[in-house]
Amino acid sequence: MTNSAPKSKNPIYFIFATIMLDMIGIGLIIPVLPDVIRRFIADPGQVTENFGYFIAVYAVMQFVASPILGGFSDQFGRRPILLGSLLGAGIDYIFMALAPTLNLLFLGRIIAGLTGASMTVANSYIADISDDSNRSSNFGMIGAAFGIGFIAGPIIGGLLGQLSPQMPFYGAAVLNILNFLFGLFILPESLKKENRRVVNWRKLNPKFGWNSIQVGVSLSFVGLIYGMSQSLLTSKLVPKWGESKSLVIGIFFNAFGFLLYGIAPYGWMMYGIMVVSALQGLSMPCLQSIMTKKVDVRYQGELQGGLVSVGSVTAILSPLIYTHSFNWGSQSGEYILLGAPYFVASVFGLLLDDFDAENWRVD
């Protein structure tokens, strides 16, 4: 059941621009990010590590914020949440451009991830104003906006980065603030008051109803298990099993762990699953070691740069895959298959488990 769709095409254009800006914002700063980090860190290894953290934290915050912003929009309407996200993003990009320390730069990226989760609300707006005659075409425009923004972001970032490392941040700020002003004057509310609901905030995390402390503790435990498995198990088991076998075992336990996460009925079980799947920590050191041996010493820097780039792409795509699979598993508020994102991740892991790393070669 849809609301009365606004007759003007302006809302569609606004949502198109919002989605495109979300994607541009993800890719805009990637080309200049290493230079920005070098303002605070001189060691090349630490620059590489922080680059990965910087990309990952954005994806994590989108994961956290997407259901929250979606719930706010169900209760208070789509328009104020969209406009607030755009204005917040614009201010935040300016904050990152002026950040005097690395910690404040990370804080800015955390906020950017929160405001960037507006894609959830934008999709909800399209659902509100669409009917059977135009739903597919409207969502097709959203897909086009995603693609254009995904392509344009790194290009614009690279061009602006020629002026200064801070310029892409200012560019992103201008784009978001202009879109905020556009929406402020032309965007009508799509969700009628009679169709709004008082959100049960516990159901925004319907799998276990964890609060922020429980989520934080679980993530810290993941880091502990992963760090211990890489530092202790790698040194003990890889010499015994060999790198190729250890890689396969690590990927298998990664996929197996995601499968167990998806079917676990109680929150306390997650900690046991983390321990059981600790062998997944073998995979990354083995993979990097195998790849390093396959590449000439003259190209090691290029290889490591490529690995970081691949990690950046996965950090962009994974929250999108997660949210779509989660929405599919909880259609119309009925929690049909809440573990769907974990099952998808498990399938990816099983596909990777067929990869023959030892026979991989670079021409």
Q: Which amino acid, 129?
A: I
Q: With 70 as the cut, is the pLDDT of residue 6 above it?
A: no
Long-range contacts of 253-258 (CB under 8 A, 24+ apart): 253/277, 253/278, 253/279, 253/280, 253/282, 254/280, 254/283, 254/349, 255/345, 255/346, 255/347, 255/348, 255/349, 255/350, 255/352, 255/353, 256/346, 256/349, 258/342, 258/343, 258/345, 258/346, 258/349
Tens-digit pLDDT profile for residues 71-120: 778 888 888 888 888 888 888 889 888 888 888 888 888 887 777 667 77
Tens-digit pLDDT profile for residues 145-156: 777 877 888 888
**Averaged pLDDT, 206-213:** 66
d(CA 39, CA 96): 13
d(CA 59, CA 315): 6
Tens-digit pLDDT profile for residues 234-272: 878 888 888 888 888 888 888 888 888 877 777 788 888
| Mean predicted lDDT score pLDDT of the chain | 76
Please tell me the pTM assigned to this model.
0.56
Q: Which residue has the tokens 């990097």?
A: 288
| Percentage of residues in the chain having pLDDT higher than 70 | 78
What angle, 0 to 180 degrees and rounded to 10, lies between the N-to-C axes of helices 212-228 and 269-276? Answer: 20
Q: With 80 as the cut, is the pLDDT of residue 136 above it?
A: no
pLDDT at residue number 354: 54
**Averaged pLDDT, 204-224:** 69
Burial of 25 (0-12, 13-18, 19+ CB in 10 A): buried
Q: With 80 as the cut, is the pLDDT of residue 165 above it?
A: yes
Q: How many helices (H) and strands (E) does the chain have?
A: 15, 0
Q: Which amino acid, 47?
A: V
N- to C-terminal Cα separation, the chain: 56
pLDDT at residue number 203: 54
Domain edges within the chain? 10-187, 207-352
Domain 10-187: give its CATH superfamily. Answer: MFS general substrate transporter like domains (1.20.1250.20)
Contact 250, 286 (CB under 8 A): yes
Tens-digit pLDDT profile for residues 106-125: 888 888 777 766 777 777 78
pLDDT at residue number 278: 83
pLDDT at residue number 243: 81
Radius of gyration of the chain (CA): 22
pLDDT at residue number 334: 47
pLDDT at residue number 329: 63
Q: With bands split at pLDDT 50, 70 and 90, how would you rate the model's confidence at 212? A: low
**Averaged pLDDT, 130-149:** 74
**Averaged pLDDT, 53-66:** 72
